[in-house]
Structure 1
Amino acid sequence: MNKQKDSIFFSKLMNAANMGWWKADLTTSNYECSEYVSELLGLDDSGIISFEDFNKRILKEEQRPTTVHSFSERQTSEVVYLLDTVKGAVWVRSKVCFQETDKEGHTNVYGIAELQEAPNMTSAYQALQHSERILHNIYKHLPVGIELYNKDGILIDLNDKELEMFHLDKKEDLLGLNIFKNPMFPEEMKERLRRNEDADFTFRYDFSKIGSYYKNSKKEGTIDLVTKVTTLYDDEGNPINYLLINADKTETTIAYNKIQEFEEFFELVGDYAKVGYAHLNLLTGEGYAQKSWYRNIGEADGTPLSDIFGIYRHLHPDDRNCMAQFFEDARNGLTAKLSKEVRVLRDNGEYTWTHVNLLVRKYTPQDKIIELISINYDITELKKTEEMLVKARDKAEASDRLKSAFLANMSHEIRTPLNAIVGFSALLATTENMAEKELCNSLISHNNELLLNLINDVLDLSKLESGHLELHPNWFNLAELLDESVAEYTRQLPAGVELQTHYPEQGFLVELDRLRIKQILNNFLSNALKNTTSGYVEVFYEIDSSYVRIGVRDTGRGIPQNMLEKIFERFEKVDSFTQGAGLGLSICKSIVDKMNGRIWADSQLGIGTTFMVELPCLVTPIDA
C-alpha cells in the first residue's frame, strides 16, 4: 500500500472500530480532532476545540476531573470519560500515545479516543455480582450478630447469627424496631449514637426485661454481650446508617469484669494511699500509668509518658537534674534503681513532696527494650508531720532555755528592786535627816513601782500564754489618752530631753481597748526615755477610715538593724545592763497580734528610733 491508501484504510478501520485520534497543542490549549471525534463532538470542519470547552463536555470521569492542563506532564496515560456528545451521553476511553516538541519549543501530545457502550460494563457487573455474593455470605455466616439501622434508628436488617443469639425464628419479627426505644440498650450509648460517636461496651442482656419491645421464644435468662456501635456515612460524609456488632462473650465478659474490678480496686487503693504506678519502655516511649501516679508528680492525667520521664517539668530544679541524670545512666546501663524524695510544684505556687522509686526491670537495648517501673507516693503529710515534730522539738528545747532564762532574769530583776526596798527601808529607820528620809522614800517608792510593773508583766505574760487575755473595746478620745500618758512620764524626763506631741488638727474617737492601748504606749515611752539622753521624745498618731497608727519617736542611741526583729521577743534587750526584764515589747506584740494589728520599729544608730503600731478599728471625728 502507498501512504495515501494507508491513510484511507486506517481512517476507515478506526471509524469502523468507533475510534479516532486527537492532538493536544499545549501552546494554544486546543485539541485538533479526527473526523470521527469531530462528528461525535459536533465540531466544525477544522476539528478544533479548546481545553476549556472540552472539559465542559465531561459529565463523569473515572480519574480526577480534567483541567486545562490535562495534557501536561502530570496527565495520566489513560482515562474514561462520560461525554456530552451529539449522540447523547456516551463513554469514551482516551489514551495518550506519544508527545513531541518541535524546534520552536512547541509541545504536542497525540492520543486516541475509543467509543464504548460503558467502561467494561459487563465485566464490572459480573465482578460486582461476585463481590456481592461474597459479601452476602460473609454477612450471613459471620460468627457475630449484626444489626443495621437507618439514620432514624429503625432496624432494616440483621444476620442469621443475630437471630440465633436472640432466639428468633425470622428477621421479620424484628424489622422496623427503633433502637432508641430498646429498653436493654444503655441510655448513655443511645446518646452517643445520636451524636454519631463510635463506642465499645459490655453489658448483660436480660431477656426478662424485654417486655413488649419484641416477641421471642426465650422469656428468661441472660447473655453477656460485647457490642460495638458505629455510624456509616455516604460519600459526602453524611450519616446514613447505624451498625451494631454483637458478640456473645459471657465467659470473656466475666473475666474482663474481674480485670476491671481489680483495676478499679487498685485505683481506689492508689487514691486512698496516694500511691501511683507506671511502667515505660524508655526506647519507644510506650507505657501506662495510673491517675494517682500522674497526680503525685503534678502532671495531667493522660499526658504521654514520653513527655514526662526524663523531663519532669513540675519538679524542683535540683530534683529534676537528679532525675535526668538517672535516666541518662539507665539508658547507658550504668544504674538500675533510684529512690528519692522530690518536691513537686503545684498550680497554687506551693511545693508538695513525693517519694519516687524507679527500677529498670528489663534491659535489652538490642531488642529496643529498656523497661522501667515507677512507683511514687505522696509524702506531703508525712513531711508536715516531720516538720511539726522538728518544730515541737525545737520549741520544747527553746521553752526549756526560755524557762531557765526566765528564772535567771526574774531572779535578777526581782532581786534588784527588792534589795533597794529592803536597804533603803533599813536606812530610813535609822536616819534623822529629813532630806535623807525624803530621798529614801522616793527610792523606795520608785523600786516599789518597778517591782509592781515587773509582776504585772509576768501576769500579762501568763494570761497571753494561756489565751485568757480579754479585750474590752470602747469609744474614747485618742488624743486625751495619749496626753494622759505623756503627763505621767513628764516627771521622769532626763535632763536635756523634751517630751513632745504631734496630733492631727481634728480630734477623733476610736473604738479600742483603752487599757491595752495605754499599756503599749507606756512601754514605748519607757523604752524611749531609757535610751534618750538628749533631744526629744515625740508621741504621735495618724488616722485612716479603718485603722489608727500610734507611735513614739526619739533621738536616742538607736537599735542595730540585726536587733529590730529580735527586740519583740522575750527577754531580748539591746543593752543587757539596762534595767528591765525584756518582756514589755514582747507583751506589746502579743496584744497587737490579738487585735489583728501589726507592730514594728525603724531605727538608725546614733540618730534615733521610732516604734509604731497599726490597729484596725472604728473611727469617728469629734465635732469642733
Structure 2
Amino acid sequence: MAKYKLMLKEGKYDSIGIELSNLDNADKVSSMSEYNESMEDLRQEYDLQTLELENSIRDNENKEKIITCIIISLIITFTLSILLYIQNKKLKRYREKWRVMQISAEIALRNKSTILSNMSHEIKTPLNALIGFSDIISESNDLDDNAMQECNDIIKLNSSLLQNLINDVIDMSRLNINNLRINLKSCDIIDICRKTINTLQQIKQTDADILFESDIKRLIIKTDPARIQQVLINLLVNATKFCKQGSIILKVEREGDMVYVSVSDNGTGIPLDKQHLVFDRFEKVDEDTHGTGLGLSICKLIVTELKGKIWVDPAYTEGARFIFTLPIVN
C-alpha cells in the first residue's frame, strides 16, 4: 500500500496500470485493494490539507481584518488627536484674547478712575480761582486799574487752564477711537512758533524767559497749524512747570526734507529711567504738578498723525529738551 501511495503522490498513474496488468488475478485483487486503500488515505489526507488550508485562509482573513481594524483605529486616533490639538490651540487663542480683553478692561477702569481723580483735582483749582476773582471784581467797587488787570489776568489764565483740560479729555476720547481730526493746509511754521511764544508770554506762571530761536525767516509746510500750536503749548507749559528761573527756548531748524522743533529748558530735567515713560497716558514725572498726565501722550499722537516723531533728548543734561520732527511738504 505504501508503494501505491507513493506512486500516486508522484503521479505515476501509467506505471500503476502497467504494474497491475502484469499481476495475476489473485495479486491484482490484493494490489487493487492496496491501491484503493492508498486512494482513500490520499483522499483523507487531501481533505485534511484542504481543511487546514481553509482554516489558514480564514486565519489570514481574520488577521487582515484585525490589521485593517488596527490601522483604521490608528487613523481615527491620529485624526482625533489632530482635531483635539487644533481645538486646544483655538481654545488657547480664545483664552489669550479673553485675557487681553480682561487686561484691557482693567486698564480702562484704572484709566477711568485716574482721569476722574485727576480731573476733579485739576478742575477744582482753576474753577475756584475763577469763582473767587469773579466775585472780587463783581463785589468790590474800590479796585484800582492794576488790581483789576491782575484779576483779569488770573481769570484769563485759569480759563485757559480749564480749556486745556477739556481739550485734553476730548483728544483722549478721540485717541481711544483713533478718530483725531487733522486738517492739513500750507502754513508758515515760523509764524506759528512766534504766535505761540507771544501767547504764552502773556499768561506764563514762571520767572523764566520764554524765547524763540531760528535762523529761518519763513518756512512753508503742509500741516495742521492748530494741532502744531497745541503741541507747542503743551511742551512749553510743561517746561514752565519745572523751570522757574532761567530760560525756555523754542528752536526751529531745517535738515533736508524735515523740520526739527525743540523745546529746551534749564529746569529740574527728567531722569533717564523715566524718559521713555513720559509719553504714556496719565504718566507724570512729578505727581505734585498740575496736569492730567495726558498732554505728552496727545502730543505724540498728533506728531505721529502728521508723519513725524517726538522724543526726549537723552544727551541734554542742563534740564529737559523735547524734540519733534515734521516733514516739509508744500
Output the TM-score relative to the length of structure 2: 0.68
Q: Does 1:551 align with 2:271?
A: no
Residue equivalent to 2:115: 406
Question: What are the ranges of 5 or more consecutive residues in structure 2 without an aligned counterpart?
Answer: 1-59
Equivalent residue, structure 2, for 1:589: 300
**CA–CA separation in structure 2 for the residues paired with 1:545 and 1:271:** 57
Rounded to whole Å, the distance in 1 between the matches of 2:134 and 2:222 is: 44
Pair 593,253 (structure 1): closer, same or farther in 2 beyond 3 Å: farther
- Which residue is equivalent to 1:461? 172
* Structure 1 residue 426 displacement after superposition: 1.2
Pair 1:427-2:136 in alignment:
yes
Relative to total residues, which structure has the larger helix share, 1 or 2?
2
Name the SS for the 1:611 alignment partner: strand
The answer (yes or no) to whether the contact 2:207–2:246 under 8 Å persists in 1 is: no
CA deviations 1:543-577 (Å, max 9, x no partner) are: 45554432211111111223223322333322233
Residue 387 to residue 442, structure 1, CA distance change in 2 (3 Å): same
Cα 1:613–1:260 shift into 2, 3 Å: farther
Q: CA deviation at 1:527?
A: 0.9
In structure 1, the partner of 2:40 is none
Structure 2 Cα separation of the partners of residues 388 and 542 of structure 1: 45
Aligned match for 1:613, one of 321, 324, 329: 324
Alignment pair present for 1:522 and 2:233? yes
Deviations 1:167-189 (A, max 9, x none): xxxxxxxxxxxxxxxxxxxxxxx
2:197 equivalent to 1:489: no
Query: Relative contact order, CA 8 A, sep 6+: which one is greater?
Result: 2
Aligned counterpart, 1:393 = 102
Q: How does 1:147-186 map to 2 (within 5 A)?
A: none
C-alpha change, 1:265 and 1:400, in structure 2 (3 Å) is same
Taking structure 1 as reference, are residues 445 and 488 closer, same or farther at Cα in structure 2, changes over 3 Å only?
closer
Is 1:474 matched with 2:185? yes
SS in 2 for 1:619: coil
Q: Select which of 273, 292, 312 maps to 1:601.
A: 312
Cα distance in structure 2, aligned partners of 1:535 and 1:610: 14
Change (3 A) 1:594 1:388: farther
**Matches of 2:272 and 2:218, distance apart in 1:** 35
- Residues 530, 266 of structure 1: CA spacing in aligned structure 2 closer, same or farther, 3 A cutoff? same
- Map 1:103-142; keep pairs closer than 5 Å: none
Secondary structure, counterpart of 2:282 in structure 1: coil
Letter of the 1:524 counterpart? L
Kindly tell me: are residues 506 and 452 of structure 1, through their superposed partners in 2, closer, same or farther at Cα, counting changes over 3 Å?
Answer: closer
When residues 597 and 251 of structure 1 are mapped into structure 2, their CA distance, relative to the original with a 3 A threshold, is farther
Distance in 2 between residues matched to 1:464 and 1:425, nearest whole Å: 35
Match of 2:214 among 469, 494, 502: 502
C-alpha distance 269-398 of structure 1, shift in aligned 2 (>3 A) = same
Separation in structure 2 between the aligned mates of residue 378 and residue 492 of structure 1, nearest angstrom: 62
User: What SS is found at the alignment partner of 1:537?
Assistant: strand
Letter in 2 for 1:609: A
| Mapping for residues 72-87 of structure 1, pairs under 5 Å | none
Does 2:245 align with 1:534? yes
Q: Is this contact kept in 2: 1:502–1:538, CA < 8 A?
A: no
Q: Structure 1 residues 500 and 477 mapped into 2: Cα distance closer, same or farther (>3 Å)?
A: closer
Q: Shift in Å at residue 597 of structure 1?
A: 4.1
Query: Residue 496 of structure 1: CA displacement?
Result: 4.7
DSSP 3-state at the match of 1:455: helix
* Paired amino acid for 1:553: S
Query: For residue 116 of structure 2, what is the amino acid of its counterpart?
Result: L
Distance 1:606 1:453 in 2: 29
Contact kept, 8 Å, 1:559 with 1:603, in 2: the verdict is no
Equivalent pair of 1:553/1:608 in contact (CA under 8 Å):
yes
Aligned partners of 1:496 and 1:595: how far apart in 2?
Answer: 30
Given the two structures, how large is their TM-score scaled by the length of structure 1? 0.38
Task: Quickly say closer, same or farther: Cα 1:565–1:389, change in 2 above 3 A.
Answer: farther
For residues 213 and 77 of structure 2, the distance between their equivalents in structure 1, rounded to whole angstroms, comes to 73
Gaps in structure 1 of 5+ consecutive residues? 1-248, 276-376
Cα deviation, 1:425-453, whole Å, max 9, x if unaligned, reads: 11112321223222222212221121122
Q: Aligned to 1:568, what secondary structure does the other structure show? A: coil
| CA distance in structure 1 between the partners assigned to 2:81 and 2:257 by the alignment | 50
Please give the alpha-carbon distance, in whole angstroms, between the structure 2 residues aligned to 1:518 and 1:509: 15
Aligned to 1:574: 285
Q: 1:598 to 1:254 in 2, by over 3 A?
A: farther
1:513 counterpart (219, 224, 231): 224
Higher strand share: 1
Contact 2:185–2:222, Cα closer than 8 Å, also in 1: yes
1:75-99 deviations in Å (ceiling 9; x for gaps):
xxxxxxxxxxxxxxxxxxxxxxxxx
Partners of 1:524 and 1:590 in 2: CA distance: 14
CA 1:428–1:542: 2 relative to 1, 3 Å: same
- Shift of the 524–478 alpha-carbon distance from structure 1 to 2, 3 Å rule, reads same
Matched residue, 1:417: 126
In 1, Cα distance between the equivalents of 2:328 and 2:316? 36
Task: Work out whether residues 498 and 535 of structure 1, in 8 Å CA contact, stay in contact via their aligned partners in 2.
Answer: no
1:428–1:585 distance in 2 versus 1, CA, 3 Å: same
Q: Write the distance in 2 (CA, Å) between the matches of 1:255 and 1:510.
A: 82
